[in-house]
Chain A
Amino acid sequence: MTVDSNAAARTPRKRTAAKKSAKKSPGAGAPDLVQLLSPEGRRVEDPAHAEYAAFVEDITADELRGLYRDMVLTRRFDAEATSLQRQGELGLWASLLGQEAAQIGSGRATRDDDYVFPTYREHGVAWCRGVDPTNLLGMFRGVNNGGWDPNSNNFHLYTIVIGSQTLHATGYAMGVAKDGADSAVIAYFGDGASSQGDVAESFTFSAVYNAPVVFFCQNNQWAISEPTEKQTRVPLYQRAQGYGFPGVRVDGNDVLACLAVTKWALERARRGEGPTLVEAFTYRMGAHTTSDDPSKYRADEEREAWEAKDPILRLRAYLESETDTDEGFFAELEAESEALGLRVREVVRAMPDPDRMAIFENAYADGHSLVDEERAQFAAYQASFSDAEGGN
């Protein structure tokens, strides 16, 4: 539902004290949650959400299978990366497990000429933008701090300081508007980042300049160990109201709803109607990163409750019951999935450490005399060893 002046009054969300057990979450029929596919994989027809549903009403079985394939391959890639971290090939990995629908739905809503500003967990969005998954692993292996060309896929570098990229997205969108282009910009962030001042400032700037930007907040319920209750006293999507633009809460485990709502928001931006906040209500099934231990701060039952809402299972149920998808499709995808895992494994294991002189590259675009001096000193220092060893 789009926020209007009465929405908050109509939909007061009870703030029950955080219980040890599974957290309450909006389900089918919750008035403030856009859901088009139920956890059981059935189409939800809610006249209140017809405006969003219109964006996917003509979706074909092939397109649905495409979304399914995206989610399965993204999950497979993610699992491979987690394994590679356990094997010592990566220093760290931030898993997106459980957030596939939010990322694939929103990512597939973008056009080639749109620009995406991710945080550091948007592996599914990167996939949709055509960034090769192995390119994402360089920074987690420690061979670079980013490494892909943002302009090749209009997919900016991962941003580790949460919130910063929402301002970059807003500025970029201001530039799009200045250019008279009808592209849109989408900024990803999370429930934790919603507390950052930069996110508040990006809401202010985008509203004041009517910038064509969509703020896509994946509320995965946990900012490392802190539940959303530590970030906000109102549902996050309602924050938009105070800035004068719409906020929508969508079922983040429903790829169809995420696709529809994001398309709707991007279209608003293209039409010159300014920013939108989309809160994708989802769940971080795994740890924050491979360095994290969720058993210290959350109950297993909570995760189990969310497993029943798995984004991939629900689309599979729909494909099996409502489309002509046969077993062959799933079998082929399984094989493709394993091939992807193998390729990722091989590429990462073969990924060389950069040349040590790379430290001095790209600190500046136009050069800097001190960097030049230090590069020469470092090279001379290194060369002093080869001299001692008589060459090599």
Chain B
Amino acid sequence: MAVQKLPLAKAINESLRVALDTDPKVLIMGEDVGKLGGVFRVTDGLQKDFGEDRVIDTPLAESGIVGTAIGLALRGYRPVVEIQFDGFVFPAYDQIVTQLAKMHARALGKIKLPVVVRIPYGGGIGAVEHHSESPEALFAHVAGLKVVSPSNSSDAYWMMQQAIQSDDPVIFFEPKRRYWDKGEVDTEAIPGPLHGARTVREGTDLTLVAYGPMVKVCLEVAAAAQEEGKSLEVLDLRSMSPIDFDAVQKSVEKTRRLVVVHEAPVFLGTGAEIAARITERCFYHLEAPVLRVGGYHVPYPPARLEDEYLPGLDRVLDAVDRSLAY
């Protein structure tokens, strides 16, 4: 059966299963990924089917997980490591930034580091501190890394396949609040390029750029705006490094207005880079400054306040109205 309707978490699970099945060098590593199947069950059943030698429960030490994954990659393996939550990645940040990202260049290209670092990220699930963050810009800023995030089940399946096949390290941000959202996955489809953006809704009046968990919000915004007679185009960026600026440029040259939406703080975020580049590329097309909607420059708030912090339907619509008012 080529087309299945799967929750996003299950789509990643299926993708990992295919990778383990087709390439004996693929390994899964992380905290609780084995018997438990991960705290979100993304690796559910994989250790049972592929054994403890391929699906490895690690000590609770993130730097150790990534550092040993680097060593395994140097030996010819293709480790897919799980960081349990976004806020837990920082003990591994040194290994990711200082070693994983730079080792290929340091070796003048003579060694490759095909490591995937999976990170469930973002808020919206009412979690405790350090479980709701969106640190993607901190990784996209680092040369040597590639950074992607799927927004739906099909992309989750295919982008994971492509990330594992990549000879570059890929930081794979999984929108945890969408883990349970179901979508169709065609396992015989021919996927688009890993780092290409996709137009998920066509429109003429304004472009919304989002990725990961915010794509769904932006589609809701576009539907609501439609009722008011405004035609919004929604672009799923899918990759934060590299960024498909050509796709954004093409859309903005048509709509002449751009709003970028992400959960991560606006300050020095992905939206800042897009705003700068698009202003440079589309200066004479723009009818309004590029606007951004995202988190504030504060620590992620306690769960009871996260709806105030996260971009939602109304805050994005407000930005759309401000842009259209120019």
Interface residues of A (CB under 8 A from B): 144-147, 149-151, 156-157, 159, 161, 164, 166-176, 178-179, 197-198, 201-202, 204-205, 208, 361-366, 368-371
Contacts and interface: CB of A to CB of B under 8 A. Distances in A.
Main secondary structure of the interface of A (DSSP, over half): helix
Interface stretch (B99-107, B228-236, B289-297, B316-324): B99-107
Contact of B107 (A150, A166, A370): A150
A136 to B, nearest CB: 14
Contacts of A204: 59, 61, 64
B94 interface: yes
B110 A168 contact: no
Given A157-B103, A361-B109, A368-B241, 10 more contacts: A150-B110, A157-B107, A164-B94, A168-B67, A174-B75, A175-B71, A361-B105, A364-B146, A365-B109, A370-B242
Interface string B58-71: 11010110111111
B98 A171 contact: no
A242 to B, nearest CB: 14
27 contacts: A145-B105, A146-B108, A147-B107, A157-B106, A157-B107, A159-B99, A161-B94, A161-B98, A164-B99, A167-B63, A168-B68, A168-B70, A171-B70, A171-B75, A172-B74, A173-B71, A174-B71, A175-B76, A201-B61, A205-B64, A364-B144, A365-B167, A365-B168, A368-B241, A368-B242, A370-B241, A371-B143
Which one of A145, A166, A168, A170 has the highest number of Cβ atoms from chain B below 10 Å of its Cβ? A168
A167 B168 contact: no
A362 to B, nearest CB: 4
B77 interface: yes
B95 A167 contact: yes
B266 interface: no
B171 to A, nearest CB: 13
A202 to B, nearest CB: 7
Contact of B68 (A147, A171, A366): A171
A202 B64 contact: yes
B187 interface: no
B196 to A, nearest CB: 10
Given A150-B74, A161-B98, A208-B59, A167 B67 contact: yes
A167 B71 contact: yes
A191 B105 CA distance: 28
A168 B108 contact: no
Contact of A198 (B64, B104, B195): B64
A160 to B, nearest CB: 9
A370 B95 contact: no
B167 to A, nearest CB: 4
B58 A362 contact: no
A176 to B, nearest CB: 7
A118 B105 CA distance: 18
Given A157-B107, A172-B74, A205-B58, A365 B112 contact: yes
Contact of B168 (A166, A208, A366): A366
Interface string B71-108: 11111110000000000000100110011001111111
Given A164-B95, A167-B95, A205-B61, A364 B71 contact: no
Contacts of B91: 197
B99 to A, nearest CB: 5
Contacts of A156: 74
Interface string B138-168: 0000011010000000000000000000111
A224 B213 CA distance: 48
Interface string B238-256: 0001111100000000000
Contacts of A369: 195, 242, 244-245
